[in-house]
Amino acid sequence: MNFQARRVTLPAITPLCLQKRVIKVYSEDNTSRAVEVPSDITARDVCQLFVLKNHCIDDHSWTLFEHLSHLGIERTIEDHELVLEVQSSWGMDSDSKLCFRKNYAKYEFFKKPLDFFPENMVSVSSEANGIMNHSQLIQTFLSSSTCPEIHGFLHAKEQGRKSWKKFYFVLRRSGLYFSNKGTSKEPRHLQFIAEFSDSDVYTLLSAKKLHGAPTDYGLCVKSNKSSSPRDLKLLCADDEQTRTCWITAMRLFKYGMQLYENFIHPHQKQKSSPMRSISENSLVAMDFSGHRSRVIENPSEALSVAVEEGLSWRRKSCHRLSSHGSPSTSQNPMSNIVIHMAQPWFHSKLSRDEAHRLITQQGLIDGVFLLRDSQSNPKTFVLSLCYAQRIKHFQILPVEDEGEMFYSLDDGHTRFTDLIQLVEFYQLNRGVLPCKLKHHCARITL
């Protein structure tokens, strides 16, 4: 009996980490884009992917959010989290989605912890006495040998009822508790609410409207094992600073040193990042004005050339953006009116409430700003600026002098030929504002 050898080719087995999945990501204007990603992709990787696809500047503030519309809540997905694991907790028929936008406040507490943790809300069981400095305060959260505690009053929605009641809450490494006897912290008076190994903290959207909360500074603790509204631990603070303190502390207790590594990692890898095709250190100033190009080695000369190039670009823009599309002089008032239209910080017909919402979403830290048209006076503009976790609005008035139009924030004492010049000035000088302009609110279309 003859046997014939036959080669059998087995199908290749793709490792689980290399298997592809399709995710859909939304931007703030509700445009979306579906992309195929590996199953082990992190939130930071997704953000870098969209930064590259949309030619954005990667300032490490781009963030992926988990938005659960049916519950009226959302949270920051931490940079190290696996995106597909987050999605796996959603129900098949839920309207949950991933959102891509800026969040300047994501790691701000590492830079200015004393702004995020008021002294009257924090206590530490350690040998240290007196007021802690910035590094000591953060170290108490990151070190497992210390026992920091957040305490204060919050409103809580009573289980199975529409009413809210004020309790004294205590947050420790072991979990969140409330006192059933005033401000007592005795073990017999503290009742356990939640711990964070299998739960996440979310921001409540429209807390007063959707949940009947006494204020709009709502937050909630949601178990990863449940998507039922009945299982949400709904809480509400009296002001934004208090809410921010509780949410930040809960993130630190849950992730600890991992958050700090997320914060420092982009800055350590920035120069050698494989996502960049050209190193910033390889860029040099060039002069192309003569018959042959040359490298400008003198820093002073390079700076003056850059300034002149910027002024030349502005003059060309004024010609392009004249009112009827025809060439005009750089002093044409209409040119100065429209030159700002293409700037990422200008949001045209945005209302006061929409501006407030956009700045809140992108981070309530000092210097977050945007410019928009005034709704009450069509000939003026408004600067919306965040300072001390509050949003203030400053009117930009047109000032006419000898037939020329200028813009001013201080009744004509400081004048600017266009809004770009105004923004550039207040990015370098505080002037009449409570702080300098630092981070502009940006919207992108995916």
Question: Which tens digit of pLDDT belongs to each residue from 205-224?
Answer: 999 999 999 999 999 999 98
pTM of the model: 0.78
User: Cα torsion at 227, 229, 233, 234 (round to 10°)?
Assistant: 130
- Dig out the tokens for 106 from the structure: 């994501």
What's the CATH number where 35 sits? 3.10.20.90
Residue span of the structural domain in which 368 resides: 342-440
| 144 and 260 belong to one structural domain | yes
In angstroms, rounded to a whole number, what is the distance separating the alpha carbons of residues 446 and 444? 6
Predicted local confidence at residue 299, as pLDDT: 65
User: What's the pLDDT tens digit per position in 74-101?
Assistant: 999 999 999 999 999 887 767 899 999 9
Overall average pLDDT of the 109-136 stretch: 77
- Dig out the tokens for 206 from the structure: 């429209």
| 189 and 222 belong to one structural domain | yes
* Phi, psi (deg, nearest 5) at residue 78: -65, 150
What's the CATH number where 256 sits? 2.30.29.30
| 148 and 236 belong to one structural domain | yes
CA atoms in the 13 A half-sphere facing the CB of 54 = 21
Q: Which of 194-198, 266-270, 400-404, 412-416 has the lowest mean pLDDT?
A: 266-270
- Long-range pairs, 114-118, Cβ under 8 A, ≥24: 116/244, 116/245, 116/248, 117/150, 117/245, 117/248, 117/249, 118/241, 118/242, 118/245
| 179 and 58 belong to one structural domain | no
* DSSP structure class, residue 24: E
| 121 and 243 belong to one structural domain | yes
Q: Higher confidence at residue 12 or residue 229?
A: 229
Q: Which residues contact 151 (CB under 8 A, 6 or more apart)?
A: 121, 123, 168, 169, 170, 171, 185
Domain count within the chain = 3
| 56 and 184 belong to one structural domain | no
Mean pLDDT of all residues belonging to the chain: 83
* DSSP structure class, residue 221: E
Q: Is the dihedral angle over the CA atoms 46, 52, 54, 58 positive or is it negative? A: positive
In angstroms, rounded to a whole number, what is the distance separating the alpha carbons of residues 253 and 12? 43
| 212 and 254 belong to one structural domain | yes
